Amino acid sequence: MRAAGLVCLASMALLACGAAGGTRTSPPAVAAPAVAIEAPLDASTREPEVDVSTPQAAGTAPDAGPSEPPPSPEPEAPSSACNEQSPQEFLVRGNFLRTPDGNLRAIQYRTDQYGYYKGFGHPGPDAQPPTVFVVSTTFMGLPVRMHRKIVPALACVEQEIRRTCADHPYTAHALAGIRTRNTYRGGEVTNHAYGIAIDVDPDRNTCCGCVKPWNDAPICKRPAKTEYDRMAMPECWVHAFERFGFYWLGHDALRDTMHFEFLGDPDRITRTPATTGAREPER
């Protein structure tokens, strides 16, 4: 029995050595424990995290989390109801004075459009003076009384000044609108009498071709390349007025830099009916 046991032990030792020096037979596979381990999802398949603190409408997809912002839309051009128009040529003072009947035609047009100024033009059967149609409004924050037909045009000019003249700041402090006294001679009548002219800061923007004291202003004696150099108001204000049917008398022989008059078509001031916000005309 002892010998047999020794033989058995020797045999087992030989088997172990053979396994260490040669090719070992793989042990039988052992089944993995049945424990479900959830592998992390790839970023492309990961469920998005939903912020439960933010209410979400039913039936909408959850927030996909941070992402690159969408490209900014192209800025839209500012919309405006204002029509651009030039002064009507036959109403420009430098034009109608060239022909004998030019002034008469300009006066009659203003009579028909804005009211009858006594002594000028031919009134219709129901003609009323321009003062009947005057309203109180504001321009650049200042009060002024103008013909109600052109109040929308002033609003267009103000909008344009605020849009384009930011690099040339100027604060007006005095305006003059309707005037009941005619300051022209020789058969002319001022557009102030119709409530369609406005003066901006007469003490700072003079009239070098007018009568005293305007033409005595020191700035009228200084050399200047253009009339723009003879006023305090920025040139961009002039261009804003001219864009919407106003004429600047700085271009005229009078060199009246304070003065703008509406010579456009009052029916073409805006694309849609404008609300002026003005009070009822003073009777």
Contact assessment for residue 260 and residue 246, using Cβ atoms and an 8 Å cutoff: yes
Instruction: Give the bridge partners for 197, in sequence order.
Output: 261
Q: Render 193-238 in DSSP notation, one character per residue.
A: GGT-EEEE-TTTB-BTTSSTTGGG-HHHHS--SSGGGGBSS-HHHH
> What is the residue whose two structure tokens read 């003066």?
199
Q: What pLDDT sits at residue 278? A: 43
Tens of pLDDT, residue by residue over 91-111, are 999 999 998 799 999 999 999
Q: Positive or negative CA dihedral for 38, 44, 50, 51?
A: positive
Q: What is the pTM of this model?
A: 0.69
Bigger pLDDT: 32 vs 210 = 210
Q: How far is CA 156 from CA 139, 173, 187, in A?
A: 10, 20, 32
Q: Which of 246, 280, 242, 276 is nearest to 155 (CA)?
A: 276
Q: How confident is the model at residue 79 (pLDDT cuts 50, 70, 90)?
A: low
Closest listed residue to residue 146, CA positions, set 181, 175, 106, 111? 175
* Domains by residue range for the chain, with CATH: 89-268 (3.30.1380)
CA atoms of 6 and 13, how far apart (whole Å): 11
> Given 3-state DSSP classes, what are the helix, strand and coil percentages for the chain, each rounded to the nearest 5?
30, 10, 55
Residue 134 has pLDDT above 80, yes or no: yes
Specify burial of residue 151 (Cβ count, 10 A radius: 0-12, 13-18, 19+).
Answer: buried
What's residue 213's pLDDT? Answer: 87
Q: How many CB atoms lie within 10 A of CB 82?
A: 20
Residue 267 to residue 88: CA distance in whole angstroms? 13
Tell me what the pLDDT averaged over the chain comes to. Answer: 78
What is the tens place of the pLDDT at every residue in 191-230? 999 999 999 999 999 999 998 888 888 889 888 889 999 9
DSSP-derived secondary structure letter, 254: T
Token pair for 46: 């990961």
CB-CB contact of 111 with 91 (8 Å): no
Task: Specify the 3-state DSSP secondary structure of 161.
Answer: helix
Q: Which helix (H) or strand (E) holds 67?
A: none
- Please report the pLDDT score of residue 69 as a whole number: 57
